[in-house]
Every structure is written in structure tokens, then in C-alpha cells.
């Protein structure tokens, strides 16, 4: 028996909707299911404008184009994040100013902003790690004087909130992922949310390869052509129809994930007596059950636990390696130490968490962790 780290969940109507997309005779993007998914997200979360993309990576690249990032501009983001958060801006010539995580949570530490913000700072990316909100009010407060755009990397944050506001809907732009490892998915997929009306038109143009095709189809212009830069950010109807089936079951999927998350929390609570930490949850944030992790006492212990669980048939994994020390970026980094990012990189372990994980399997994982620490949990 091997309990995998992740297993994509099939909600039920995927085949039905893919078949309908085929019967519609339109497989490229922008058809019935693209519209339905976009409507679903604007209705449910009151996002003012959303565009489906082929990935969150693409949604981040769209936001870098929308923000008119140019060579020499600086963009602030956490070091403890996925490479796409940084790549999107590096591709446009930006210098990345990596800052540290908070001591209690991998999210960006607002207190670190003053160390790097300057007249070249153009944007700040707030990555909501594990679907837990960054302290948005403070990020906005510490950047507002300088006209810095805020982009939320909400890849992990579907249906999660900051002071009752849905994540992805607070900054200038928000980006989501529907990769198979996220709470709802379609293999590869994503979405950009545009919260400031000033950017709606240009977002559609960038999305449609730099053309005003969307305006043309609405009858707003009588010809369409190349009007700006852009790329192929629009997913096919096959992808959108699959994703539509997932949106139908979003509450059930998220409730199950939250309940598994809570069972880990209850089952592993006593590890805190050994100074092994469980995830911390600020009171302004909600939990969408995306990731459950433990923070071990040392890197050695983290690696030993992963090995121990592997031998027990449980696939647990660590997470991001700090980007400021990556082989690609280390020579561009400004040299500041980021000890919290390194702490989470070396001591964090994620446990299996997915819709189809059974209670028995979860109990087995919890017992195995108890065995590792020689305590009964």
C-alpha cells in the first residue's frame, strides 16, 4: 500500500460536459464553458472581471504585462514561493527583491517591506501560502504611498478570505491555479481576476494575443487587429468544460478537505508538546484546507520523518526551496539573509491531503507519525 501525496478528484460531470463541448462544435477557447466558468466565479465571489487562463503561471505573466513591468523595475515578493511567481516578472526584465516570511507563517512579512521598497518598486506579489491570507491591510498600507501595484498570487487560495473578502479580489490583480494539485482543477488551468476597471480592456487584449478580438465579437469595433502585446493565454473549451464540472462540486470538495485538515490538527495537536509546530492561522484568515504541514525541529528530523513515512507507505513531501538561493537567481539577489524562508524550506513537511483520502488512511498516517515520535496520538 502507498498513500500518495495527492490524487486528482473527479467531480462527476466532466465527461458529460466535455462531450457537450465537442457537440457544440467549438473546441477553441471563449465558448459556452469558458463563459459559464467565468460567470460562476464572478457570481460566487463578486469578482468584477475574470479571464480563464491556461495556468496560474500564465495569469501571473498576464499581470506582469498589465502592470507594464519593464527592465530595471523592481518587484517585491516572498522568497518562499513557487518559481512562477518570480519568472513572470523576470521575463519582463524586472529585478526581484525577495523578502522574508513571517516567523509564524510562510507568508510575506509586511515588516520587511521597508528594507527593499524604493522609487523603482513597481509591484508587490502577495502569495497566500496554503490558502491562508497575507495581512493585506498592512501590505497595502506599507506600499500605498509609492503607487505600487499589488498582485495576489492566490494559486492556492480559492474560496479563502481575508476579513470576509475573497482572496484574489483585494489587490489590483489576483491569479488562481487549477493545476491538478490544487483544490479544484482541470489538469492545467488558471484564472486572472482584474479588480480595477482601468485594466479590463487591456486585459482582454493581452489575453487574445494582443488583438481586440473580444471587443470585435461584442460588436464594439468593426475590425479587429493587432493593437498591443499579448500571448495565447486562453484555454480550450475541453479544459473549461472539465473545470465547469469541478465548480459544481466546489463546496463538497472544500468541506471534505477542511474536515480532513481539522482531523490532522486534532490528531497531531500533542506534537506541540514536543515543539513540533502545526500550521498557524491568523484571526483575519480562513482555511480552505489546501495544505496541512508540520514544522519539525531540525532539517535532519524533517528528512528522517519523510523517510520513515515513506517506509510506512506514506508519501509526505517538503515544499519550496528559497528562490533567493536558487542557482538561477542567487547571483542577482541583493545579499540579505532571509532566515524564516530558510526555516520553512528546511523544516516543513506536507502531509497527504485530498478529497479521496479515507479516514482509515488518515488515521494510519497520524499513527505512523506518532510512532516516529514514540508517542501515542
Query: What does the binding site for ligand PLP look like in residue numbers (CB under 6 A)?
Result: 55-57, 81-82, 84-85, 127, 153, 155-156, 177, 179, 190
The nearest distance, CB 8 to ligand PLP, in angstroms, is 13
Q: What's the N-to-C CA distance of the chain in angstroms? A: 22
| C-beta of 205 vs 323, nearer to ligand PLP | 323
Which DSSP letter does residue 295 get? E
Residue 150 CB-density burial (10 A; 0-12 exposed, 13-18 middle, 19+ buried): buried
- Rounded to 5 degrees, φ, ψ at 319 are -130, -140
Supply the minimum distance, in Å, between the C-beta of residue 127 and ligand PLP: 5
Nearer to ligand PLP, 55 or 286 (CB): 55
Residue 154 beta carbon to ligand PLP: minimum distance, rounded to whole angstroms = 8
Report DSSP state, residue 116: T
Q: Is residue 312 within 8 Å of residue 351, measured between CB atoms?
A: no
Min dist CB 267 to ligand PLP, Å, is 25
Q: Give least dist CB 227 to ligand PLP, A.
A: 27
Closest distance to ligand PLP from the beta carbon of 155 (Å): 3
Residues in contact with 176: Cβ distance below 8 Å, sequence separation at least 6, in sequence order: 56, 59, 154, 155, 157, 158, 168, 190, 191, 192, 193
Q: Which residues contact 88 (CB under 8 A, 6 or more apart)?
A: 57, 60, 61, 63, 64
Beta carbon nearer to ligand PLP, 21 or 52: 52
Whose Cβ is closer to ligand PLP: residue 177's or residue 212's? 177
- Residue whose CB is less far from ligand PLP, 81 or 143: 81
DSSP string for 162-230: ETTEETTSSSSEEEEE--TTSSS--SS-EEEEE-SGGGHHHHHHHHBTTB-HHHHHTTSSS---B-S--
Q: How far is the CB of 78 from ligand PLP (least distance, A)?
A: 9
276 or 345: CB nearest ligand PLP: 345
Tell me whether residue 174 or residue 276 sits nearer to ligand PLP (CB atom): 174
Amino acid at each position: 500500500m502507498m498513500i500518495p501525496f495527492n490524487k486528482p478528484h473527479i467531480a462527476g460531470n466532466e465527461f458529460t460536459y466535455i462531450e457537450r463541448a465537442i457537440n457544440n462544435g467549438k473546441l477553441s477557447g471563449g465558448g459556452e464553458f469558458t463563459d459559464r466558468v467565468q460567470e460562476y466565479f464572478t457570481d460566487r465571489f463578486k469578482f468584477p472581471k475574470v479571464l480563464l487562463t491556461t495556468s496560474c503561471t500564465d495569469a501571473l505573466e498576464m499581470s506582469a504585462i498589465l502592470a507594464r513591468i519593464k527592465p530595471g523595475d523592481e518587484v517585491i515578493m516572498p522568497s518562499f514561493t513557487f518559481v512562477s511567481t518570480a519568472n513572470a516578472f523576470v521575463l519582463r526584465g524586472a529585478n526581484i527583491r525577495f523578502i522574508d516570511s513571517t516567523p509564524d507563517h510562510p507568508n510575506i512579512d509586511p515588516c520587511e517591506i521597508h528594507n527593499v521598497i524604493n522609487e523603482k518598486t513597481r509591484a508587490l506579489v502577495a502569495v497566500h501560502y496554503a490558502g491562508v491570507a497575507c495581512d493585506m491591510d498592512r501590505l497595502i498600507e506599507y506600499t500605498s504611498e509609492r503607487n505600487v501595484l499589488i498582485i495576489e498570487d492566490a494559486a492556492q487560495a480559492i474560496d479563502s478570505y481575508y476579513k470576509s473578502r475573497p482572496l484574489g479580489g483585494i489587490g489590483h490583480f489576483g491569479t488562481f491555479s487549477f493545476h491538478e494539485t490544487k483544490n479544484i482543477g482541470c489538469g492545467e488551468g488558471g484564472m486572472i481576476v482584474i479588480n480595477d476597471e482601468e485594466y479590463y480592456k487591456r486585459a482582454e487584449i493581452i489575453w487574445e494575443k494582443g488583438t481586440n478580438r473580444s471587443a470585435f465579437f461584442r460588436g464594439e469595433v468593426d475590425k479587429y487587429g493587432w493593437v498591443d502585446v499579448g500571448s495565447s493565454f486562453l484555454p480550450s473549451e475541453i479544459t473549461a468544460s472539465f473545470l465547469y464540472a469541478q465548480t459544481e462540486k466546489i463546496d463538497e470538495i472544500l468541506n471534505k478537505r477542511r474536515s480532513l485538515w481539522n482531523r490532522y490538527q486534532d490528531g497531531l495537536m500533542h506534537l506541540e508538546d514536543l515543539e513540533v509546530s502545526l500550521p498557524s492561522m491568523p484571526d483575519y484568515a480562513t482555511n480552505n484546507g489546501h495544505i496541512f504541514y508540520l514544522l519539525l525541529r531540525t532539517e535532519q528530523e524533517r528528512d528522517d520523518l519523510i523517510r520513515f513515512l515513506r517506509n510506512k507507505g506514506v508519501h509526505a513531501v517538503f515544499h519550496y526551496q528559497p528562490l533567493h538561493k536558487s542557482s538561477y537567481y542567487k547571483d542577482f539577489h541583493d545579499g540579505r539573509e532571509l532566515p524564516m524562508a530558510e526555516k520553512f524550506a528546511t523544516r516543513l513537511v506536507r502531509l497527504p491531503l485530498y478529497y479521496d483520502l479515507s479516514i482509515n488512511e488518515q488515521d494510519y498516517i497520524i499513527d505512523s507519525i506518532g510512532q516516529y515520535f514514540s508517542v501515542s496520538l
